[in-house]
Structure 1
Amino acid sequence: MTKKRIFYGFLALFVLYLCYLAYIFILSPKTNLQSIYLIPKDAVFIIESEQPVESWEKVSQSEGWHHLKKNDYFSELTENIQRVDTVFNDNHKLFEFFDNRSLFISIHMISPKDYGIFYVLDLKRIAKLQLLKTYLNTLLDDGYVLSKRSYHEHEILEVHDRESKETMYLAFIKNQLVASYTHTLVEASIDQYNEPVLGRNLNFLEINQKVGHEDLFRMYVQYHYFDDYIKQYSDRPSDWVKRVSENFLFSGFYFDLDENSMLTANGYTNISAVNEYYLEALQKSGTSERSIPEIAPNSTALYISYGFDSFAEFYKNFEMVQQNDPEQFESYQKGIAKVEKFLKIDVKENFVSWIGDEIAVLQIQSHISKGKNDVALVLKTNDAEDAKTNLDFVVEQIRKKTPVKFKAVNYKDYEINFLSIKGFFKMLLGGRFDEFDKPYFTQIDDYVIFSDNPNTLKGIIDKVVEEETLGTSETFRDFEQKFDSESTVFVYSNVPLLYDNMYALADAPTKQRMRKNKDFIICFPQVGLQLSPEDDLFESRLVLNYQDVEEVKKAINVPKDIPKSTPKTQNSAAAQITDAVFNLRPIYPTDLNADSFSKKYANGNIWFEVDIKDGLKHGRYEEFYPDGTRKIRGRFRNDEQAGTWRYYNKEGDQVHKKRF
């Protein structure tokens, strides 16, 4: 009888426990809190996954991630993510419990040079089981110490690792588990519970609602803090980062990873109400197919394309959106009117009318201008003859109304001219185009190309003549097929070339960091971003093409060494001196109407001096030793050496000559 009572007693307790579980999981009212309400408001990046374990396993097993883990930054990121697992890793069932539950990971700047990672896991109804909190004690061995403290009426659990001396901070807030190795982030999360900011930001919610949920993971970018994040890597201000932070609000992407470690992200981006007006105008002006790669050199490091139904439509919208700022619009109109009155031209007739459906900015790798970016602005025409007629008219008006006397230069059957209207493109299109102050220009078929450096135009002409353009590059064409054929904004980067351009401009500490991380930068040799208008947003597509870094290095073209005019041994006997002493370096004058071009030694003495015509060597050439003694003398005709050339030793004696 006693055994039966005990049995029925246990049975009753078991039934009561089942009823309790049924109440917890079925009958109890749903008072779930959304994870986003607990993310501190200053998140730079937010990663979200509905299948965190499955998604992380797919990413961590990819070839690209295995390579990136060798880098300190990604190694630390991987370690931080995996350290959250270590508390549970010994219990496989609890580890599996993470899957099918929403996990958010956010990155925050916690100091000017350091960031913290924050985690939010939706426990759903199981969070109501008080056993869950106490169960943590059973997961910890002697290597950990668990302590508790209170913050704003919430309990924070502190799990201290004796070996690493690090502490993970956790808190249960309704149905959510929050965690971080930075205690201020957990405290900020509790503050967000009382007064949520990010979760109620209408601009964020607009993007969040548009991004899908059936994919590998999702990532959001809050551009307001993007500038602060980039500053941890360089103290030098970056103009493009500043513009991105000011012009965009949020982006949201959903990601997919293929078997070749190519990462593809689709999503949406919204723009700030206080933006550079051309962005808002672009959003209202449609799309176009990209054709400028036909003349963009294959040495292009960065290709930024702006497309629209027509430039005339874009320009109308550009003027319209500026009217939201009456003071700015008045200043804009005065600037245009001043130019029109002085030169007696009509901007809409002489410029806007012939521009077609695409303009682009090219940043090009160059062996000419070391330490500077070669930048060009390309305007596709809707009528090549009309463009030439109007530009000729504008140049003639400049010649009549200003003291500038520039004679057009012919280079490989393409005419290079000079548009001496200071700040014209900045005035016409906004600050994004202030790099083109007083540009030279040339026309190649249906494209008019502007650059402040005439040698950039020569380089583009050379590549077109040699048929070495993006349009003829199979690598570029294959990558471009990952995107829609039409777009409003399209950004393509050849990362190894862009790395070289950025390295040339960097300061010494930045160069050191870049050298250290080069293999982890160039392993994504192609990166592309596409924006197309959808309602008041930009539909966005981002593609990162991973490639084995050794294959990338093999594909990089190493520039050939330019022979030096100085023989290896200055004191060689005359019999040892060969014709190689007359192999001279090329010159790149920036004033194509100058009569001569020269360079000097560090001591101020002339290194060499040559007569030029239309930017080409034509006439006498003299080269000197650092002490001023003549070294070489000869003549050029149409950029070719001609007649008898003479070479002298340091005593001034002729020791070699050659007739060309």
Structure 2
Amino acid sequence: MSHKLLVFLIGLLLVSALGSYVYYRRAVARVPVDPWSLVPDDAVFVVATRDHATLVRHLKETQLWDNLTAVRYFQQVEEHVGLVDSITGTPNVVLRFLGTKKVLTSVHVTGARTFDVLFQVPIGSVREYRQVRTLVDGLSRNPRYQVSTREYQGEQLTDIRERDTDNAITFFNYRNHLVMSASTALVEAVVQRLQHPSLPSVAADFQSTDFLQLKDVDATLLINYRRLPRFLSVFFRPEVEPGIATVTSLARNGQFEMKLAGNKVVFNGFANPETARDALQQRLRLQPTQRLRMAEVLSLRTAVLVHLGLGPVQVLRPARPASADVLEQQNGPLLDSLAAGLREEAALCYLATPSARIRPAKLALVYCPNPLRAATLLGQLRRQNGASPAFERVGPYQIYQTGVPELPAHLLGPMFRGFALPAVAQVGNYLAFGEEAADLRLWLTDVAAGEVWSRSPTQVAFLQETQPLARMRVLIDTRNSWNVLLRGLVEERRAGLLRNETLFQRFPQVALQFVPPVNEAEPGAQYFTQLVLRHPAIGPAVAKPQSANGTGGALAFKTPLTSAPTLVPVTGARVPGVLVQDNQQVLHYVTPDNVVAWSDSLPGPLVGKVNRLTVGPAPGYLFATPGQLHLLDESGRERPDFP
């Protein structure tokens, strides 16, 4: 080969390499990575966060932080964060690394009784890339860990394994975008997805919505309702799954914004209606929304309530097959007549139980505008099926046997199965069916005594914060539902629930609601959805509108304030917090979001000013009362090591 030809080929190679580099920088590297496109299709939940310092601050101000750090999973995360800090020699390095990056956390079912989490964190600079490499190098030199790399479909995966426990994490860097998980299969699923870039992402239905651009949004949550039953089957016993599948078949997926504020966590968003043929959505589509009027007959023992707002309940009933049994054909005309008189509200209600070993009372409640006609038809059904005319009296109410197995399912559709030999009672305009007479006896005892939601200030305040009109509501009282949940869980999950009791009962009032749009018949119409987690407001101050038109907000303290407010700068917040004392010597901390985060009783009035300490591993508040110095931590607790 001549020298000229060799020089020409080398030059051609250099030009090709330079062209490839320029093409990569201009056509590939400049195109930002869409993290949603990397999430495997089987994700059940995807949480997106951005301002992590503010998120942590809000978690602390709503007193959720202490509950989260008591959960074993978060304790493991905290241990890993501490390890990173020790290797890098810099405190809070992880929180600063996350900063305001858009981080995605997705949850996936990876086995019959297991689920795993996938994290995506972008790398924003060469310095941050070096931090990651320094961390990996530090772990490789630590005898507790084994670090190895391997190739998988053109990507280099790094496995970090703890030798003693065999716990491991796998990650890889895709265009300065870290993808990591304790499940190797999840990371490999991301690599497999890279081979098919044209596939729609899990958020394809919400591409035009970015809740993180809105003010005061702490995170966004994407839910795949179609995969939710399988995820819940990881925790619950098989007999619970059909009911869960029915309730979740109103929508196929949805996206929420999350806001942490005071005594509640609010998720607002939208959901796409389910399109499957046998879904609950197909029966409720275009039905009118209704108010929850049955609060007057809901016992304070109610643990879980699934409430449907609709027109006639006949839309819930499937067509009677030609091969129906003799009993169903015999009762058909009476069942049709009785169902024709039921409308507007139908609900499944589970009552609290004193022990997880005891079956919870289960009721089916439905509104009937003509209770006299309904009572007459029920009497005819009893006589036709040979049921005893005897009844049991509870206060002014009577309990009868129906004589028709699974009568609620015949009247209200398959969602109301599970009443083998039901009993029935009437309270005003409501029919109530129980699995047994004892279930109705328990419920009627509370109704007769006036122990109902409509007479409870706590429950009334809760209902006032929910949507007035909705198609479906799922309302949970976690204090009442504790034993109900324990009974429904698989055996190996009960210990985990008991360990996390404080987190679960932090918000005893939970409401999930679906409100259809006005233009429901148009293509692309979505449900407005709201999830509220709330604990009753029992603090020292009441929030009120600052102006007549409801704009702005002010706190009205129940006891007069005696000290001048002390401004407390808060990292990441535009407005400072405030410390103030009332005439009962109680010191209150008001967050930048105008919420009383904590209150602490003092032995006397404040002397001088409050000093905010920002140095050292644990910031706090230093101040004096007559004859004593105090140092409180950021949660308002006295520091045990002071003075």
Q: TM-score surpassing 0.5?
A: yes
Give the AA of the match of 2:35.
Answer: S
Give the AA of the match of 2:400.
Answer: N
* RMSD (Å) for aligned C-alpha atoms: 4.0
State the partner residue of 1:47.
47
Shift, 1:422, TM fit: 2.4
State the partner residue of 2:70.
70
Give the AA of the match of 1:279.
Answer: Q
State the partner residue of 1:562.
none
Give the AA of the match of 2:412.
Answer: L
Q: Would the alpha carbon gap of residues 432 and 165 (structure 1) be closer, same or farther in structure 2, given more than 3 Å must change?
A: closer
Q: Which of 278, 281, 285 does residue 279 from structure 1 map onto?
A: 281
> What are the Cα deviations for residues 279-323 of structure 1, in whole angstroms up to 9, with x where unaligned?
332242121111111011111111221112x22xx535x47xx6x
Q: Which of 521, 527, 530 does residue 538 from structure 1 map onto?
A: 527
State the partner residue of 2:627.
none
Shifted more, 538-547 versus 85-94: the winner is 85-94
State the partner residue of 1:395.
379
Secondary structure of the residue that 2:64 maps to in structure 1? helix
Q: Would the alpha carbon gap of residues 484 and 246 (structure 1) be closer, same or farther in structure 2, given more than 3 Å must change?
A: closer
State the partner residue of 2:364.
377
Q: Would the alpha carbon gap of residues 56 and 43 (structure 1) be closer, same or farther in structure 2, given more than 3 Å must change?
A: farther
In 2, distance between residues paired with 1:135 and 1:186? Answer: 21
In 2, distance between residues paired with 1:368 and 1:94? Answer: 43
In 1, distance between residues paired with 2:270 and 2:389? Answer: 47
Q: Would the alpha carbon gap of residues 468 and 148 (structure 1) be closer, same or farther in structure 2, given more than 3 Å must change?
A: same
Q: Would the alpha carbon gap of residues 507 and 175 (structure 1) be closer, same or farther in structure 2, given more than 3 Å must change?
A: closer
Give the AA of the match of 1:253.
Answer: F
- 1:252 maps onto 2:265 in alignment: no
Aligned pairs for 1:125-140 (under 5 A) are 133=129, 136-138=132-134
Count residues in correspondence: 503
In 2, distance between residues paired with 1:162 and 1:508? Answer: 30
Secondary structure of the residue that 2:444 maps to in structure 1? helix
State the partner residue of 2:223.
221
Q: Would the alpha carbon gap of residues 42 and 83 (structure 1) be closer, same or farther in structure 2, given more than 3 Å must change?
A: farther
In 2, distance between residues paired with 1:379 and 1:275? Answer: 25
In 2, distance between residues paired with 1:89 and 1:270? Answer: 48
Q: Which of 443, 465, 472 does residue 455 from structure 2 map onto?
A: 472
- 1:362 maps onto 2:349 in alignment: yes
Shift, 1:441, TM fit: 1.6
In 1, distance between residues paired with 2:289 and 2:470? Answer: 5
- 1:486 maps onto 2:469 in alignment: yes
- Which structure carries more helix by proportion? 1
State the partner residue of 1:205.
204
Assess if the C-alpha contact under 8 Å between 2:240 and 2:488 holds in 1: no
Assess if the C-alpha contact under 8 Å between 2:423 and 2:437 holds in 1: yes
In 2, distance between residues paired with 1:94 and 1:498? Answer: 37
Secondary structure of the residue that 1:486 maps to in structure 2? coil
> What are the Cα deviations for residues 7-59 of structure 1, in whole angstroms up to 9, with x where unaligned?
xxxxxxxxxxxxxxx99999998422311111223323211123344324433
Shift, 1:148, TM fit: 4.4
Give the AA of the match of 1:206.
Answer: D
Shift, 1:407, TM fit: 3.0
Q: Would the alpha carbon gap of residues 545 and 83 (structure 1) be closer, same or farther in structure 2, given more than 3 Å must change?
A: farther
Q: Taking structure 2 as the reference length, what is the TM-score of the superposition?
A: 0.67
State the partner residue of 2:106.
106
Aligned pairs for 1:402-551 (under 5 A) are 402-503=385-486, 512-534=495-517, 535=520, 536-546=525-535
Assess if the C-alpha contact under 8 Å between 1:144 and 1:160 holds in 2: no
Shift, 1:357, TM fit: 1.5
Consecutive unaligned residues in structure 1, runs of 5 or more: 1-21, 323-328, 550-660
State the partner residue of 1:608.
none
Shift, 1:267, TM fit: 1.8
The sequence identity of aligned pairs, in percent, is 16
In 2, distance between residues paired with 1:175 and 1:368? Answer: 52
> What are the Cα deviations for residues 435-460 of structure 1, in whole angstroms up to 9, with x where unaligned?
23442222212212121322222222
Shift, 1:393, TM fit: 3.3
In 2, distance between residues paired with 1:397 and 1:91? Answer: 73
Shift, 1:374, TM fit: 0.7
State the partner residue of 2:290.
288
State the partner residue of 1:180.
181
Assess if the C-alpha contact under 8 Å between 1:179 and 1:186 holds in 2: yes
Q: Taking structure 1 as the reference length, what is the TM-score of the superposition?
A: 0.66
Q: Would the alpha carbon gap of residues 421 and 56 (structure 1) be closer, same or farther in structure 2, given more than 3 Å must change?
A: same
Q: Would the alpha carbon gap of residues 422 and 542 (structure 1) be closer, same or farther in structure 2, given more than 3 Å must change?
A: same
> What are the Cα deviations for residues 150-201 of structure 1, in whole angstroms up to 9, with x where unaligned?
3222233456779987654432323533223433332221111112598435
Give the AA of the match of 2:379.
Answer: V
In 2, distance between residues paired with 1:144 and 1:370? Answer: 50
Assess if the C-alpha contact under 8 Å between 1:277 and 1:430 holds in 2: no
Assess if the C-alpha contact under 8 Å between 1:144 and 1:162 holds in 2: no
> What are the Cα deviations for residues 87-116 of structure 1, in whole angstroms up to 9, with x where unaligned?
878398996464333211112334444433
Assess if the C-alpha contact under 8 Å between 1:46 and 1:107 holds in 2: yes
In 2, distance between residues paired with 1:159 and 1:344? Answer: 65
State the partner residue of 1:580.
none
Shift, 1:343, TM fit: 4.2
State the partner residue of 1:7.
none
**Which of these two proteins has the greater Rg computed from alpha carbons?**
1
State the partner residue of 1:302.
304
In 1, distance between residues paired with 2:434 and 2:334? Answer: 22
Give the AA of the match of 1:538.
Answer: Y
Secondary structure of the residue that 1:54 maps to in structure 2? helix
Q: Would the alpha carbon gap of residues 403 and 370 (structure 1) be closer, same or farther in structure 2, given more than 3 Å must change?
A: same
In 1, distance between residues paired with 2:260 and 2:356? Answer: 39
In 2, distance between residues paired with 1:140 and 1:507? Answer: 38
Assess if the C-alpha contact under 8 Å between 1:268 and 1:540 holds in 2: yes
Assess if the C-alpha contact under 8 Å between 2:368 and 2:374 holds in 1: no
Assess if the C-alpha contact under 8 Å between 2:117 and 2:182 holds in 1: yes
In 2, distance between residues paired with 1:280 and 1:387? Answer: 29
Secondary structure of the residue that 1:55 maps to in structure 2? helix
Secondary structure of the residue that 1:345 maps to in structure 2? helix
Consecutive unaligned residues in structure 2, runs of 5 or more: 1-21, 142-146, 539-643
Q: Would the alpha carbon gap of residues 89 and 483 (structure 1) be closer, same or farther in structure 2, given more than 3 Å must change?
A: farther
Shifted more, 114-123 versus 271-280: the winner is 271-280
In 1, distance between residues paired with 2:23 and 2:91? Answer: 27
State the partner residue of 2:269.
267
Shift, 1:356, TM fit: 3.5
Give the AA of the match of 2:358.
Answer: G
In 2, distance between residues paired with 1:165 and 1:367? Answer: 41
Give the AA of the match of 2:171.
Answer: L
State the partner residue of 2:542.
none
Shifted more, 286-295 versus 450-459: the winner is 450-459
In 1, distance between residues paired with 2:30 and 2:161? Answer: 34
In 1, distance between residues paired with 2:457 and 2:114? Answer: 41
Shift, 1:348, TM fit: 4.6
State the partner residue of 2:629.
none
In 2, distance between residues paired with 1:251 and 1:272? Answer: 11
Shift, 1:498, TM fit: 1.0
